[in-house]
Amino acid sequence: MSLEKEIPTWSYINFEILYQIHLAKEDNMLSKLTLNDIIKKTSNHIGANISLNEFYSPINSGSIFSFLYSLLVVPKELFTKENYNKFEDFQFEIENYFEIIVGENLITPKYKLFRILRNSISHVNYKIDMENKYSLELWNRNKQGEINVKLKSDINRLSNFAIEIAKFYMTLP
């Protein structure tokens, strides 16, 4: 499945699963259902063959990029400049989350990585290799349209990075 189709498809499936959970909660049935039951209900509702063991994982291209959009793009628009500038205080080791392919000098100091990732996510400058354990490449283009930063990661490391960002947000006033 192409990236153009994969992310909206996964986003739809993720939303449908959450919607089925919502419906079960409204009907006071949530405690009686397993995750597999909810996935079966979702599968029936959307007319697709979804299996928890063979197909569905809650961490997928739809969920991780929605999460990253919420953590990297939205805050720039909503946070006060003072709170957004606190990213300079966010401590992390880039190597734990990304392999830098191009442009190491452009993400020093480390907080500049947030601008690069925000641009990458908002402009859909990334690709996912589903055949290779969800290997990911994210990149940024300069004003001339040339790739000046390129990072490689995988869905697990990127998910862990997103969790660290979320935890950092929880410390802000």
Q: How far is CA 43 from CA 130, 153, 166, in A?
A: 22, 30, 30
Predicted confidence at residue 55, as pLDDT, reads 63
- What CA–CA distance (Å, rounded) separates 118 from 112? 10
What pLDDT score does 30 carry? 86
Q: Show me where the domains of the chain are located.
A: 3-46, 61-170
pLDDT band at 129 (very low <50, low <70, confident <90, very high): confident
- As a whole-number percent, the residues of the chain with pLDDT over 90 amount to 21
Position 171 pLDDT exceeds 70: yes
Tokens coding 41: 């209900």
pLDDT tens, position by position, 64-119: 888 888 888 888 777 666 766 777 777 788 889 999 999 888 777 777 788 888 89
Q: Does residue 153 register a pLDDT over 90?
A: yes
Compute how many other C-beta atoms are within 10 angstroms of the C-beta atom of residue 93. 8
Q: Is the pLDDT of residue 154 over 80?
A: yes
pLDDT of residue 2: 66
**Single pTM value for the model:** 0.74
Cα–Cα distance, 107 to 173 (Å, whole number): 26
